[in-house]
Structure formats: structure tokens, C-alpha cells
Amino acid sequence: MTRVPFGIRGTGSFVPEGVLTNDDLSKIVDTSDEWIVKRTGIRQRHVVREGETTSMLCIEAAKRALVDADMDASEIDLIVLATVTPDQHVPATSCIIQHELGLTNVPAFDMQAGCTGFVYGTSVAAQYLWTGTYKNVLVIGAESLSRIADYTDRGSSILFGDGAGAVIYSSSAPRCGEVRSCSIEADGGGYDVMHQRAGGAKIPLTHELLDDYADKLVIHGRQVYQFAVRKFVELVQREQETNSDLELGGIVPHQMNQRIIEAARDRMDLPEESIFVNIDRMGNTSAASVPLALDEARRTGWFDGADGKLVVLCSFGAGLTWGSVGMKW
């Protein structure tokens, strides 16, 4: 079947005003700015304050993407939101976004693939766009991770930040980033490497469980670290093989840890400027990380010179899940 070509028509992002610095964290847990910078590259992260929600971050990011795309919200055919921190379990946060954008009858759903959520969302959008079912799909990755971070655990709480990134993929007048390939995979054997102990239908929250922080994120950092470096390299190399007619123009990876990015870059023997990094200011924002980075990279001219070249988005996270997108910029 011939595929309807599509690419990026607009991007937008939004982070809450609240900032949590490493020094702020060192007043809450036994850590230091020096340790966090050395081990993660993170200097600060944005965090939602009382009254701010994941949907609010999404709506602002989506509005900015619409302005960038020079489109009216009414042109959107489908809304996909990737998040592990929806406003609430029911209804889908994407329906709140749909309503706030003034839309009716447009399908909207949330999906969850940990930090790989945005790449999974792009892969879902691709199926509708390549087949010509829809022309314009809004994919958002957003998190309020500070709401489920365990601020008694110095090994995980130092990582997480909040924010939202939105991309409008379109087969009508895309501007850049023609999506040529998507790959998504999972290994549920690693389901407990990053998880919440309670708060779902299996173990509903009780006062005792809440007092025990059972609704907070547990991560086995070392295991995640090794898995991430391995997958990072595999995903990029696979996209390069699939798109072997294109020279590599840049990589926008999940911002998990600066050392993970550097280790993968060393293994691939790539120059520093080939990988976009904003983890120093954003921290690890899970599903929001790739679209936040993608939008910032576009706005700051990081893609200048990448025209006609291969741009790879790649991510890896809870599930375990991983995936990549190969674009002709």
C-alpha cells in the first residue's frame, strides 16, 4: 500500500513557572548540587504548584503548537496524549484537552508507555496518517511527575520534572520532519524496574499505603541506566540502517540522564553536537521529554543545517518500553 506522506506541521511546549533547583532538593533529601550535576547533568527542573494540572500544561503546549502550525484547532482530527500522570484515571485527560480547545466529536484518548509514550503516540498517529484516515493529528507528551515523585528517596526524586510538549503531525502542508519510520517495542519482563506499588485497581490506596508512599514512583536506577544505554544505541543504529540513504542530521533522545546520553554517544562515536540535550534545565520529564526537547531544538535553530538529513527521536522507559522515529528533516 502506498503511504500518504506526513511530517511535522507545528510544535509547542510549556513548562510550569515553578522551579526546583538542586539546592532546593538538598534541603528535602540527603543530596547535593555537586552529586546531582555529576551523576545526572540536571541543575534544575520545573514543577507544578498547587492548582496546576497536567491538562493545563497540555492545553498551553497544544495552543502554542497550533500557532506554530498556523492552524485552527477545528482542523485537528485526533488527539493522543501520552502520560503516566493524567489529571485523574477517569475520564481521559485528552478529553479535557479536547473540550478546552473548543472541539467536539474529535476522538481523543490517553495512552501510557512510560517515558516512551510520545514515541508510541507518534507511531499510533502514523498509522492514521499513512493510511489517509486523518490529515492532522495532535500528539502530546505531558507529565506532572513531581506529584508522584518520592521526595524521601534521593535516588529517584532528584531526576523528575514537569512539562508538556505537543506536535501536530500533518499530511497537509507539513513543514519539516517527514516521518519515514517508527519502531516500538516492549519487554514486560521488566515491569517492576519502574513502578508504583499501589493506587490502581489491583491495590487501591488506603490511608496506611499513602503514609507509606505506596503511590510514589519506585525506580531501580542502575538497571534502567544499563538498559537505556543499550537501547539508545540499538534504536539509533536501526533508524540509520532503515534510512541508509540519509546522512545523520541529529538525535533528539529521551532526557533520562546526561551520562546515559554521553555513554551512548561514545559508543556510537558521534560528536557532541549531534545529540540535543536540555536535561540540565528540564530534568527527566518522562513522556514530555522528547516533544519538549524537539520543540526547543526547533525554536533555537538547532536543526539549522539538518535539512534533507535523518533526524532520530528515541526513547526508553517503564514497561519496559522503547521506540524510535526516523524523519527526513
> Which residues are known to be catalytic?
115, 254, 284
Q: Report the DSSP beta bridge partners of residue 143.
A: 163
CB of 222 to ligand UT7, least distance (A): 5
Per CB under 6 A, the segment of 4-12, 13-21, 216-224, 307-315 that binds ligand UT7 is 216-224
In whole angstroms, the minimum distance from the beta carbon of 259 to ligand UT7 comes to 7
Residue 117 is a binding residue for ligand UT7 (CB under 6 A): no
Using CB positions, name the residue nearest to ligand UT7: 221
Q: By C-alpha distance, which of 266, 179, 193 is closest to 227?
A: 193
Across-strand partners of 243?
Answer: none
Position among 39, 63, 175, 238 found at the interface with ligand UT7 (CB under 6 A): 39
The percent of the chain in helix, strand and coil, each rounded to the nearest 5, is 35, 25, 40
Q: Are 312 and 302 in contact (CB under 8 A)?
A: no
Of 154 and 267, which CB lies nearer to ligand UT7 in the complex structure?
154
Q: How far is the CB of 223 from ligand UT7 (least distance, A)?
A: 8
Q: Does 246 bind ligand UT7 (CB under 6 A)?
A: no
Q: By CB under 6 A, tell whether 257 contacts ligand UT7.
A: yes
Looking from the CA of 234 toward its CB, the CA atoms found within 13 Å total: 13
- Closer CB to ligand UT7, 111 or 176, in the complex: 111
| Burial bucket for residue 130 (CB in 10 Å: 0-12, 13-18, 19+) | middle
Nearer to ligand UT7, 30 or 208 (CB): 30
* Smallest separation (angstroms) from ligand UT7 to the CB of 193: 8
Residue 158 makes contact with ligand UT7 by CB under 6 A: yes
* Helix (H/G/I), strand (E/B), else coil: 259: helix
Could you tell me if 296 and 153 are in contact, meaning their C-beta atoms sit under 8 angstroms apart? no
The three cell numbers locating residue 42 = 540536571
Binding-residue pattern over the window 54 to 93 for ligand UT7, x denoting contact by CB under 6 A: ----------------------------------------
- 155 near ligand UT7, rule: CB under 6 A: yes
Interaction between residue 53 and ligand UT7 (CB under 6 A): no
Identify the CA nearest to 176 among candidates 168, 184, 187.
Answer: 168
Neighbour tally for 289: CB within 10 Å: 29
Nearer to ligand UT7, 8 or 20 (CB): 20
Write the DSSP symbol of residue 57: H
> Which segment (105-113, 206-214, 221-229, 230-238) binds ligand UT7 by CB under 6 A?
221-229
Q: Which amino acid is at 166?
A: A
For residues 65 and 12, what is the distance between their CA atoms, to the nearest angstrom? Answer: 4
Backbone φ and ψ of 176, nearest 5°: -160, 175
Member of 115, 137, 297, 325 binding ligand UT7 (CB under 6 A): 115
The CA-atom distances, in angstroms, between 311 and each of 84, 208, 250, 328 are: 26, 48, 5, 6
Among 256, 263, 293, 310, binds ligand UT7 (CB under 6 A): 256
Would you count residue 35 as binding ligand UT7 (CB under 6 A)? yes
317 binds ligand UT7, rule: CB under 6 A: yes
CB atoms within 10 A of CB 204: 9
Query: Which residues here bind ligand UT7, judged by CB under 6 A?
Result: 31, 35-36, 39-40, 115, 154-155, 158-159, 194, 219, 221-222, 224-225, 256-257, 284, 286, 317
